[in-house]
Amino acid sequence: MLEKYSTTVQYFIRRGEARLLLESAKQIFGTPEPQIIEKVDEATSEKLLAWNTRLRTAQSWSELITD
């Protein structure tokens, strides 16, 4: 879906999606470990969307952030 935007715009959209996921999940699971932050920062927009959807049912960071 992001393909229609420039690479720079795609980057900033994905960074916003990652930040939103991290901040939302932090309210539920507490501060994430560095490896979780790294996985989120490297994730595609599609993966971030899937993890955001799973936020409603996950019980922990490890259950939320899966490959």
Phi-psi region of 38 (alpha: psi -120 to 50; beta: other; left: phi over 0): alpha
Sequence-separated (6 or more) residues with CB below 8 Å from residue 64 = 25, 29, 51, 54, 55, 58
Please give the pLDDT value at position 1. 57
Please give the pLDDT value at position 2. 62
If pLDDT is split at 50, 70 and 90, which confidence band does 5 have?
confident
Please give the pLDDT value at position 4. 75
Q: Find the distance separating the first CA and the last CA of the chain, reported in whole Å.
A: 20
pTM of the model as a whole: 0.85
